[in-house]
């Protein structure tokens, strides 16, 4: 028997009405889209309801209010749960968008996407990433609080919640992120873990028998359990206890039923990732005491109650604004910094101390020059924080005269990730999404460990900077496991990524400036372990050319016979080859190409001016895979690249062994010239 709406509003307690509204909205959106994941929203609706209704300090009318609590739905496949909450609590997400769930152009895409939907704090979907982001957000809150709050004058005191699932818990990144959160005693962090014992392929017992409670206790977390997700009071009690915790992050293990209320699919993986089906939707609605034919029904009482969040949020924001005004009057210098963080504006003169490096044949490694440049910027950008995955001394990522961010002392700008590259990647995204400028370092070869998070930084257009050093086979003695070969090229493949491989100290300075100026692009700095000469810029073109991705570094007299394109540490080989070829009467132009992505953004005229199409003899020199260079050298061009894994040995010998010599570049140039000639005469 199905109820009518009036009966339902009087007969059902308001809380239950709201919970079932969340459930049925999610069910209907998935059913209409004929695609999506109804099960988790059905099981978790009571948890979301309690969190949003009784705890969350947010302002739906002002989704970016800086002191709002953050909620990260790490189990991104349960996106309809989040969209239902955002719609019902009054965000600018009309029902018409929910009705277009998973359709092109909808504000309700399949998985939550940062900057598409108001109220979505981060893009989730790849399991485990969201919870790592939440750790970055909690770190940011602690840092902002330590930096800006003054005694009783507090402008930062928000909490970070994450809703996560069995899949999140299984992913390796959750281990790294949770361990660090426990170590740092991030008591502002609360994870609500949906323990429903079902994942995509079936029961989690197929592959998962972790004792999650012991695991998190081992990370020094506060662990609480809610035996029944449908018991609103026990969910509320647990969150309240978590909020009272001052020393540890809290994990609330919530036992729930996937697909709750579906007569044939509850507690089955069939409820996980496909619509319930028209008949099952009806049967489920009957179970909830819902009108079985109503779709996208929001009973007035539920709608009104949940939308009270708007007025509450306005009040919270107004109170905060008043606090902020008083605080800003007393702390004008800090207020200017706060403004910079919130608006993304850099402080006046942030780059005024960036050094210009004098010509020096011996030179220095770009990781070294990078450190000098970074420090010259860091002293003017107080909210530039950095981390390294236990490789600070190798990556040269130390910020001078700064302290470590550590448990109980959260004002330091040096983040220590430990040997946790995956966690670092996800945490950096959470930090960047919180307005701080962040960079993280490890060896370039281990960028693979970070790649999932890097890809998300690109999707989210977050200005994270990666300091990836030891950028070629010139790592030397450590051998092939530590020598990147395919990395630079494969990172170039990620849309929106700026991969910059500077050739000398002055190119490194411009590269760092670009990274810091960036608002919408992650930047990868591929830096050398070994010294590279600092070029004499009175003889060669200005390093400002890096801004265009590629530039004519050294031209020939008259039309060149061949163009030599170099990146990073191999530019010097191209320069020396140019001289050798000149001695033999061959005119070569040298192009420095530190960043493909920026070059691609230039006008056709500019590109033609650097790489004239009439000059078809070309050689690219890069100690990485040659695959892809055809784009710039063409079919008649040649690549001095690294086809196979490297080798263990002194760097100079490894380089020579694999053909990174001036002679080899000269030989390839001649070959390319010969190929062009032969095709011309045919
Ligand atoms: C990194 C990653 N691997 C695989 C998937 C595909 N996937 C989406 S949901 C899911 C199962 C998740 O089960 P659980 O987290 O328990 O969610 P529930 O079944 O409770 O909705 C899988 C494997 C993914 N989204 N991300």
Torsion of CA 319, 320, 325, 330, to 10 degrees: 120
Residue 675 and residue 655 in contact, taking contact as beta carbons nearer than 8 Å:
no
pLDDT average, residue stretch 246-251: 98
The pLDDT assigned to 5 comes to 56
Q: How far is the CA of 347 from the centre of ligand 1 (A)?
A: 42
Instruction: Calculate mean pLDDT across residues 368-393.
Output: 95
Q: What residue's CA is closest to ligand 1, atom 19? A: 199
> Tokens 């902002």 identify what position?
144
CA-CA-CA-CA torsion sign (242, 247, 248, 253): negative
**Would you put residue 453 in left (φ > 0), alpha (ψ -120 to 50) or beta?**
alpha
Q: Given ligand 1 and candidates 200, 265, 426, which is best to mutate, with the most ligand atoms within 8 Å of its CB?
A: 200
Q: Residue 190 in contact with residue 239, Cβ under 8 Å?
A: yes
Residue for token digits 């050689």?
Answer: 619
Q: Catalytic residue positions?
A: 421
Ranges of beta strands (E only) in 247-359 are 250-255
Going by alpha carbons, the residue nearest to atom 13 of ligand 1 is 199
> Which of 167, 171, 205, 208 should be mutated for ligand 1, with most atoms under 8 A from CB?
167
Q: What is the dihedral of CA 515, 516, 519, 523, to 10 degrees?
A: 20
pLDDT (tens digit per residue) in 434-464: 999 999 999 999 999 999 999 999 999 999 9
Q: Which atom of ligand 1 is nearest to the CA of 43?
A: 20
User: How high is the pLDDT of residue 596?
Assistant: 98
The contacts found for 109-115 with CB under 8 angstroms, 24 or more apart, are 109/79, 110/35, 110/36, 110/79, 111/76, 111/77, 111/79, 112/73, 112/76, 112/79, 112/82, 112/83, 113/459, 113/460, 114/433, 114/459, 114/460, 115/460, 115/461
Residue ranges of E strands in 409-541: 414-416, 437-443, 465-469, 498-500, 523-527, 531-534
Single out the residue of 494, 488, 388 nearest to residue 439, CA to CA: 388
pLDDT in tens, 106-164: 999 999 999 999 999 999 999 999 999 999 999 999 999 999 999 999 999 999 999 99
540-590 tens-digit pLDDT: 999 999 999 999 999 999 999 999 999 999 999 999 999 999 999 999 999
| Token pair in block for residue 514 | 């670009």
- Is-contact 528 474, C-beta < 8 A? yes
pLDDT of residue 401: 82
**Phi, psi (rounded to 5 degrees) for 298:** -120, 100
Kindly give the distance from the C-alpha atom of residue 110 to the centroid of ligand 1, in angstroms, as a whole number: 13
CA-based angle 340:341:346, to the nearest 5? 45
Whether the Cβ atoms of residue 594 and residue 546 lie closer than 8 Å to each other? yes
- What are the Cα distances from residue 64, in Å, to 54, 60, 88, 435, 459? 20, 9, 18, 11, 19
Total length of the chain: 682
C-alpha 111 to ligand 1 mean position (Å): 12
> If you average pLDDT over residues 530-535, what whole number do you get?
98
Is 384's C-beta closer than 6 angstroms to any atom of ligand 1?
Answer: no
Q: Looking at the CA of residue 258, tell me the nearest atom of ligand 1.
A: 20
Beta bridge partners of residue 416, listed in sequence order: 388
**Distance of CA 75 from the midpoint of ligand 1 (Å):** 7
Tokens of 399: 């910020």
This prediction has a pTM of: 0.97
Distance from CA of residue 394 to its chain's centroid?
A: 23
């Amino acid at each position: 028997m199905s109820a009518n709406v009036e009966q339902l509003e009087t007969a059902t307690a308001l809380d239950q009405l709201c919970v079932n509204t969340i459930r049925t909205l999610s069910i209907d959106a998935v059913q209409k889209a004929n695609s999506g994941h109804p099960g988790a929203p059905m099981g978790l609706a009571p948890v979301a309801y309690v969190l949003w209704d009784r705890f969350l300090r947010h302002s739906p009318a002002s989704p970016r209010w800086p002191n709002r609590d953050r909620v990260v739905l790490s189990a991104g496949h349960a996106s309809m749960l989040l969209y239902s909450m955002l719609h019902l609590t009054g965000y600018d997400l009309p029902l018409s968008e929910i009705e277009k769930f998973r359709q092109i152009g909808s504000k309700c895409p399949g998985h939550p996407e940062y900057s598409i939907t108001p109220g979505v704090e981060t893009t989730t979907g790849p399991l485990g990433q969201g919870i790592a982001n939440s750790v970055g957000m909690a770190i940011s809150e602690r840092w902002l609080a330590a930096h800006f709050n003054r005694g009783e004058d507090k402008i930062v005191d928000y909490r970070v919640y994450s809703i996560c699932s069995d899949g999140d818990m299984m992913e390796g990144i959750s281990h790294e992120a949770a361990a660090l959160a426990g170590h740092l005693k991030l008591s502002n962090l609360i994870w609500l873990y949906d323990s429903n014992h079902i994942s995509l392929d079936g029961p989690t017992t197929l592959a998962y028998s972790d004792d999650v409670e012991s695991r998190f206790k081992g990370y020094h977390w506060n662990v609480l359990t809610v035996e029944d997700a449908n018991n609103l009071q026990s969910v509320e009690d647990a969150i309240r206890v978590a909020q009272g915790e001052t020393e540890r992050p809290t994990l609330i293990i919530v036992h729930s039923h996937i697909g709750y209320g579906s007569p044939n699919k509850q507690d089955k993986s069939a409820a996980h990732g496909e619509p319930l089906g028209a008949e099952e939707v009806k049967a489920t609605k009957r179970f909830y005491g819902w009108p079985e034919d109503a779709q996208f029904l929001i009973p007035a009482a539920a709608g009104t109650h949940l939308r009270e969040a708007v007025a509450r949020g306005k009040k919270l924001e107004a109170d905060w604004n008043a606090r902020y005004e008083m605080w800003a009057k007393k702390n004008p210098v800090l207020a200017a910094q706060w403004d910079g963080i919130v608006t993304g504006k850099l402080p006046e003169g942030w780059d005024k101390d960036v050094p210009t490096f004098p010509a020096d044949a011996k030179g220095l490694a770009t990781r070294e020059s990078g450190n000098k440049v970074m420090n010259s910027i860091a002293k003017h950008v107080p909210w530039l924080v950095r981390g390294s995955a236990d490789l600070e001394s190798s990556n040269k990522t130390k910020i001078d005269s700064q302290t470590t961010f550590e448990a109980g002392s959260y004002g330091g700008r040096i983040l220590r990730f430990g040997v946790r590259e995956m966690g670092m990647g996800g945490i950096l995204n959470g930090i960047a999404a919180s307005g701080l400028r962040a960079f993280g370092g490890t060896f370039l070869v281990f960028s693979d460990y970070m790649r999932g998070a890097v890809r998300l930084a690109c999707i989210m257009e977050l200005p994270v900077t990666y300091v990836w050093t030891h950028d070629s086979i010139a790592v030397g003695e450590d051998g092939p496991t530590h020598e990147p070969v395919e990395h630079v090229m494969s990172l170039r493949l990620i849309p929106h990524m700026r991969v910059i491989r500077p050739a000398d100290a002055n190119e490194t300075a411009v590269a760092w400036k670009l990274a810091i100026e960036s608002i919408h692009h992650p930047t990868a700095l591929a830096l050398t372990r070994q010294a590279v000469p600092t070029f004499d810029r009175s003889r060669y073109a200005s390093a400002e050319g890096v801004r265009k991705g590629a530039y004519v570094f050294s031209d020939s007299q008259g039309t060149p016979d061949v163009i030599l394109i170099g990146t990073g540490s191999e530019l010097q080989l191209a320069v020396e080859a140019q001289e050798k070829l000149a001695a033999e009467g061959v005119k070569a132009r040298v192009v420095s190409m530190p960043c493909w992505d920026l070059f691609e953004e230039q006008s056709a005229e500019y590109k033609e001016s650097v790489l004239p199409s009439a000059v078809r003899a070309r050689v690219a020199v890069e100690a990485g895979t040659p695959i892809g260079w055809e784009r710039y050298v063409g079919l008649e061009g040649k690549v001095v690249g690294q086809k196979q894994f490297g080798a263990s040995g002194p760097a100079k010998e490894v380089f020579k062994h694999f053909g990174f010599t001036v002679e080899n570049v000269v030989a390839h140039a001649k070959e390319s010239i010969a190929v062009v000639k032969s095709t011309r005469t045919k």
